[in-house]
Structure 1
Amino acid sequence: MSEQNDWKKKLTHELNEYFVNFLYLSLFFCVFTTYRRLLMAEYDISYGDYGISIIKALILAKVVMLGDMLKLGRRLKDRPLMYLTLFKTVLFTAWVLLFHMLEITVSNLLHSRGLAGAVHEFMDQFPYELLAHLLIVLFAFLPFFAVRELNNILGEGKIRQLFFSSGLLEKTASKNVRRNDG
């Protein structure tokens, strides 16, 4: 019975983590979709690929979890939070690039265009579209990993408590004042 409870707890934890990752990334990508939509509306071009933003967030949330399962970025865990955050941001952005390249390759293989078609498609995207996509992912990951690593340092759920529990900030502030006075 204990193994089944452990399995359920782990599954619940993984699903919650996936949902939080997805929620953050989908909000971030939907904001960029809205930005693009508003820019294009100025030229009477309709744009509303919110579905693509949601699908991208679903995939990236899983890619992040796979990177965590492979323990990417763990070697700097004893460094200051700033270094760890920047390192994980760059590392996971490169991880996303790797998955993007894999996606292009598989797509071209499935459509009988082979590896040459994958290389051609990748190089067509390279200068502008791919760099823009990577910049968006990089800046989406920066606050994402800062908050996640801070949560790891403070303890699981502490940031959630700080944001959503009333009176907790007052208690924490009064403890800090007493600590500094003593």
Structure 2
Amino acid sequence: MLLGLFTMHEEIALRTHGDIALWPHGFALVNALVLGKVALVVEDLQLGHRIKPTPLIWPIMLESLILAILFIAIHVLEQVIGGWIHGESLAASVPAIGGGGALGLLFSATSFFVAMLPFRAFRIIANAIGMGRVWRLLFGAPSAHP
């Protein structure tokens, strides 16, 4: 969903300059599925759990950083493999992340890092206090009456 939001923002920016492109939405959906799988694998590896669990901000930040780095690496890998399939050279298939250059890479990494913070925070806090308690806090206790 987040990649769809980023894509929608990109489309709004393109429309302000007269360019209309609807293809990024399909790409964002496929990318979201791939990155979702990466996030599940990272969660199974429990990379942030090597840090002491208190305070919880440290594993939240570490896992968000790991996911941001992996998401960018997976995106580059996807583009390189796609370029290889289409017969492009390695240099031609490496994407210009965030518009290119170190600044674009920094902006993209920061965006992914900040975007991952609430997702990782919710999961880590839910693990710490128990999913049942989180469910009751969000939706209330199940009523005893039908």
- Normalised by the length of structure 1, the TM-score is 0.63
Query: Where do residues 1-182 of structure 1 align in structure 2 (5 Å cutoff)?
Result: 26=1, 28-48=2-22, 49-113=24-88, 117-122=89-94, 124-125=96-97, 126-127=100-101, 130-165=105-140
For residues 166 and 69 of structure 1, the distance between their equivalents in structure 2, rounded to whole angstroms, comes to 29
User: Percent identity, aligned pairs only?
Assistant: 23
Question: Residue deviations 1:29-62, cap 9 Å, x none?
Answer: 2222232223332233223332222222111110
For residues 38 and 123 of structure 1, the distance between their equivalents in structure 2, rounded to whole angstroms, comes to 21
Question: Residue deviations 1:98-148, cap 9 Å, x none?
Answer: 3223323322332344xxx33443374441654444333222201111111
When you count helix as a share of all residues, which structure comes out higher?
1
For structure 1, the 5+ residue unaligned runs are 1-25, 169-182
Q: CA deviation at 1:67?
A: 1.4
Q: CA deviation at 1:163?
A: 1.4
Greater relative contact order, per chain length (Cα 8 Å cut-off, separation 6+) = 2
| Total equivalences in the alignment | 139
Letter in 1 for 2:51: L
Q: CA deviation at 1:154?
A: 0.9
For structure 2, the 5+ residue unaligned runs are none
Q: Secondary structure at the match of 1:109?
A: helix
Cα distance change on mapping 1:119 and 1:161 into 2, 3 Å: farther
Letter in 2 for 1:118: L
Is the Cα–Cα contact under 8 Å of residues 81 and 149 in structure 1 kept in the other structure?
A: yes
